């Protein structure tokens, strides 16, 4: 029996095998979880994810446009139809137009700011609202952040502001979801990872090199380490933990020099 035997989860945000959401999915599968997935509502997004998931043959793999409330509702209705409930949810969704990330925050366009906040922050609120009725006995939710939400990381720009909003959304959602529904929600602040999202960040390789040199462990975090932290936050092992931001960055965030 695995830690997640007889547990059902929805993973939102797998783009390819480098995704943090995929590292969590592999850890969850290894512990016996039953997983449903959403993917970007594009043909290329569907192809990549379905190819990745083929060995696992999940019952549900659905497109989801997180800017569309009706589309989000459709996904959760499909989950209800197949499983009747959810035990946990992984939210690993963020986007800003690459041109907006590359320009100084001062020069962020109004349209770019709204788009980045909608997809990267409001999507968490929207999916939590739909997931909550499927967790009548309580549940757990995890989302993904980065240190650029706490400190200025040159080159991260508007996405850093989005992560700050995401992290404080977690705290307010912890209150709203916890009092009556007994649903926990936490965020993982991941060290810099080579993902599809990071490809749009200027000087990303330099950011990774700097993080490794500065960190307490003198290296960058491995995907599997993010996966096992996700296991902890989604399992009964963290039943008393909610509204928290857990840094998984080899100690980078605690070093001042």
By annotation, the residues acting in catalysis are 146, 156
Pairing, β 34-39 against β 8-12:
parallel
CA–CA gap between residue 92 and residue 45 (Å, rounded): 15
Rounded to the nearest 5°, which phi and psi values hold at 247?
Answer: -85, 125
The alpha carbon of 39 is separated from its chain's Cα centroid by a whole number of angstroms, namely 13
The C-alpha torsion from 63 through 19 and 230 to 252, rounded to 10°, is -140
Backbone angles phi, psi at 142, to 5 degrees: -130, 140
Cα 133 from chain centroid (whole Å): 20
Rounded to 10°, the helix 158-178/110-117 angle is 40
What values do phi and psi take at 26, rounded to 5?
A: -60, -40
Tokens linked to 111: 């349209």
Neighbours of 139 (CB within 10 A): 24
Residues 24, 247: Cα–Cα separation, whole Å: 15
């Amino acid at each position: 029996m695995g830690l997640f035997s007889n547990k059902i989860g929805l993973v939102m945000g797998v783009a390819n095998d480098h995704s943090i959401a995929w590292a969590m999915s592999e850890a969850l599968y290894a512990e016996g979880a039953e997983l449903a997935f959403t993917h970007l509502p594009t043909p290329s997004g569907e192809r990549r994810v379905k190819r990745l998931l083929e060995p696992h043959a999940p019952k549900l793999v659905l497109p989801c446009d997180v800017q569309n409330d009706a589309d989000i509702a459709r996904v959760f209705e499909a989950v209800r139809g197949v499983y009747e409930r959810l035990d946990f949810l992984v939210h690993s969704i963020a986007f800003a137009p690459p041109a907006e990330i590359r320009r100084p925050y001062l020069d962020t366009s109004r349209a770019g700011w709204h788009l980045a906040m909608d997809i990267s922050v409001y999507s968490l609120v929207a999916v939590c609202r739909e997931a909550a009725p499927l967790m009548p006995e309580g549940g757990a939710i995890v989302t993904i952040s980065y240190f650029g939400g706490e400190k200025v990381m040159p080159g991260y720009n508007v996405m850093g502001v989005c992560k700050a909003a995401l992290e404080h959304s977690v705290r307010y959602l912890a209150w709203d979801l916890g009092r009556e529904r007994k649903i926990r929600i936490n965020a993982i602040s991941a060290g810099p990872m080579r993902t599809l999202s990071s490809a749009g960040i200027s000087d990303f390789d330099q950011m990774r090199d700097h993080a490794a040199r500065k960190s307490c462990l003198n290296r960058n975090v491995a995907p599997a380490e993010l996966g096992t932290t996700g296991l902890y936050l989604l399992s009964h092992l963290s039943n008393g933990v909610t509204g928290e931001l857990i840094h998984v960055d080899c100690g980078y965030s605690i070093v001042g020099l």
